[in-house]
Structure 1
């Protein structure tokens, strides 16, 4: 009997979770039961992925950097990676601004709905604004200072310190390159072995992925806001979804097809489990181990490229978040009656691009950065209260976009460096079957 492919297993788990969640809503005790007895399994699944995120980055990035012949190769890879991430981010924000100006979803929100939602979410909005103000009060070079940790052990204790960890690991890898091969070999062998162990741990965790996403989607169903809120914000949510769907199913596959020759089916089949996991967890960091495994094993990008491009992307590349920030900022401005000029929207492009670099790869972090984007164009940041009700499902979709963008850039960088398998080999599709 042929084994069901991983992405289909995850889809079955997602659908089952939604159905079970809807079923339990029919009972007065249903929500409490799901929260108490089903939700913890989703949390355990996410925690297990986060558990190996930092060890994976350390092992794979040390291996990837140390396998390079000289510093010039690292410089070439780094410049291309950062450049491509910035380009895709600008394209995503511009697409979002185009859509929101055409649809104008803000005109569908009635005054009484706006006031009711502002009052309901006032406390949460205030806490996000306070957090954003703390960020704004930092010095212009504080972000640069934060990249260099004063204690790598302390930095490695939190997934929120990805940039610090990446800096240390790249620095460590450079040190390995610069010493004699005979002395570096034991260190490289250790990290090679560690990397293989971590990849096997990912395989084990992914056996439980369908059950994890089942628990996450069942919980989302019982904790979702009431339907009238979704109707009031339908135009806004639809605008975001259309933009994200265009990136997912048109822009990225087309770019990959043009520059690497991979077919739409090959690309989407290869990255599908990572997309579905990103959708379920709303966290690029939690999905990173699976993203790296899919890009290397199923899309043919060599390990040293994957080890560098994907962790950096999970930290600074947030195309889905950037598109959403552009749409949300203009939407809130429309609701408040603020007419944003072309120069205002160019400021949104710049601010959202910079904000995406500082957005942590964790659920809901984009909301905090949206406050900074709003204030950059003089819009009352309290307006973020308007979008809280539908932010969770949209966060799930934009995380899937972020992960797909990381995979796309990894393919482009790999192709530009000659580090990608030939997509035209006859047994390419057979390459997937053992892993699925």
Structure 2
């Protein structure tokens, strides 16, 4: 057997890191008591090492890994969008891309929240549940739709990049790229420079991806060293219902839409989404996962650069199918816990509010809870009910993010197919993109 065949794939390494992290986190819970001290002593001296191991080593390494991913987001989005828009020969194509992308994102969000409410009413997760809580939740005020539109246009693009305001970065990058396309030779010369920068950034993505198994290990170890089984017990019905609807939407809804609108094999897409979903599950951030999502769409799914550079950053900002599912189930759950009967009209209002809020509140910190607060207020449910579900929301947030980025890639494939920008040979090739995952580290290994 050759040396290359003995090497584990990146997906296998990430799974191993995730499993080892979960086991390590569980063992740490057994080793530490409630005060954070070890249950054993050395030479008569007791050591309190919980802070050193979990909050120190694991937290530091995990945060460095997430920061390394976030470091790439702004330059990747800006450079990719500029490269994509400056190469557009048909200005009307940009309008088509926007209309198709936003339309599909709104459609999938509406389907998601409808599924969530339907299964919530069928299962009734809040019936007979009484959960005492001392926690409190104060809802932040969401901006008006007019203010959201105004805030999309930056007064200072450099400040927008420094603050990571994705909608403002997208607007500026599109305008910058269109200006380059209209400038002639000067635009072509600058475009060639941006193309080279884009290649380098994608190679940097490869380097970070190869470090993922270690980042995944420490993040999962830290998480599962702090999650108690008793917290899941009281909310088990709600937790597993949300999880079920997330998986159903991610596997069935996306597959039906992809097959129905493109004729492509959805299993091929789902198989190629494994690495990106593992990143999303670990980081709980669509924005932090964006470099990996873009690498997957381009190199594994064959989505053209002019499409992926537009649809994916937009999806990471406004596509919140997973959050919409949480909102739907949580609304039913909180209504049942508080004994409030909602009418059919109320549930229709929940669907409309959650769907429109997924676009209207994009870029607002704590957007998931802000959106849920908006939904609850719309149907006169107590916002304080959010405190009931905060305890288990961390694990669900990880799954929601994986669903969201799968939806982003699904929409990208549909839009690319409709625009003739999908390389079906790459899409159908099970080994597409495998070389790009390890090319940098293989190069480093051979020169050591």
TM-score using structure 2 length? 0.89
| Alignment match, 1:221 | 224
Distance 1:297 1:430, change over 3 A: same
Q: Deviations over 1:32-65 (max 9, x none)?
A: 2222111211111100000010000010000111
Contact 1:315/1:359 (<8 A) preserved: no
How do 1:388-403 residues align onto structure 2 when only pairs under 5 Å count?
388-403=390-405
- Could you say if the C-alpha distance between residues 398 and 359 of structure 1 is closer, same or farther in structure 2, counting changes exceeding 3 Å? farther
Q: Secondary structure at the match of 1:19?
A: helix
Query: Which residue does 1:429 correspond to in 2?
Result: 430
1:414–1:420 CA contact under 8 A, matched in 2: yes
The one of 42, 63, 70 equivalent to 2:62 is: 42
User: Post-superposition, which runs of at least 4 consecutive aligned residues in structure 1 deviate over 3 A?
Assistant: 257-262, 358-365
Asked whether the 8 Å contact 1:59–1:191 carries over to 2, the reply is yes
Cα distance between partner residues in 1 of 2:144 and 2:399: 33
Q: Secondary structure at the match of 1:26?
A: helix
Among 148, 152, 155, the alignment partner of 1:150 is 155
State the shift of 1:149 in Å: 1.1
Number of the residue aligned with 1:245: 247
Mapped contact 2:302–2:426 kept (Cα < 8 A): no
Matches of residues 90-169 of structure 1 in structure 2 within 5 Å? 90-110=110-130, 114=131, 116-117=132-133, 119=134, 121-122=135-136, 125-126=137-138, 129=139, 131=140, 133=141, 135=142, 138-159=143-164, 161-169=165-173
* CA contact 1:270–1:295 (8 Å) conserved in 2: no
- 2:29 matched residue in structure 1: 25
Q: Does residue 418 of structure 2 align to residue 413 of structure 1?
A: no
Rounded to whole Å, the distance in 1 between the matches of 2:121 and 2:301 is 36
Aligned partner (choices 188, 201, 209) of residue 206 of structure 1: 209
**Distance (Å, rounded) in 2 between the aligned partners of 1:174 and 1:183:** 13
Change (3 A) 1:251 1:5: farther
Pairs within 5 Å for 1:237-386: 237-360=239-362, 365-386=367-388
More displaced 10-residue stretch of structure 1: 260-269 or 66-75: 260-269
Residue deviations 1:242-296 (CA, integer Å, cap 9, x gap): 1000012222233323433443442122111111110000000000000000011
1:58 and 2:78 are equivalent in the alignment: yes
8 Å CA contact 2:22, 2:224 repeated in 1: yes
Q: Which residue of 197, 200, 210 maps to 1:197?
A: 200
Could you tell me how far 1:364 is from its partner in structure 2?
Answer: 5.3
Q: Tell me what 2:96 maps to.
A: 76
List alignment gaps of at least 5 residues for structure 1: none
Q: 1:7 to 1:253 in 2, by over 3 A?
A: farther
Pair 295,92 (structure 1): closer, same or farther in 2 beyond 3 Å? same
Whether the aligned pair in 1 keeps the contact of 2:148 and 2:361 (CA below 8 Å) is no
User: Is the CA contact 1:100–1:330 (under 8 Å) kept in the aligned structure 2?
Assistant: yes
Structure 1 position 360, deviation (Å): 4.9
Superposition deviation, residue 175 in structure 1: 1.1
TM-score scaled by length of structure 1: 0.92
Q: Secondary structure at the match of 1:429?
A: coil
Kindly tell me the number of residue pairs found equivalent between the two proteins.
417
The CA deviation string for residues 179-237 of structure 1, in whole angstroms up to 9 with x for no partner, is: 22x1211110121111111101100111110111111101111121x322211111111
Task: Give the Å deviation of 1:140.
Answer: 4.4
Alpha-carbon distance in structure 1 between the residues aligned to 2:361 and 2:70? 17
Partner of 1:176: 180
Cα pair distance change 1:108/1:39, threshold 3 Å: farther
Give how far 1:12 is off. Answer: 1.1
Counterpart contact for 1:282–1:362, Cα < 8 Å:
no
Could you tell me which runs of 5 or more consecutive residues in structure 2 were left unpaired when the two chains were aligned: 38-48, 438-448
Tell me, in whole angstroms, the C-alpha distance in 2 between the residues paired with 1:412 and 1:170: 21
Q: 1:433 to 1:419 in 2, by over 3 A?
A: same
The answer as to whether partners of 1:42 and 1:216 remain within 8 angstroms in 2 is yes
After TM superposition, give the deviation of residue 139 of structure 1 in Å.
4.6
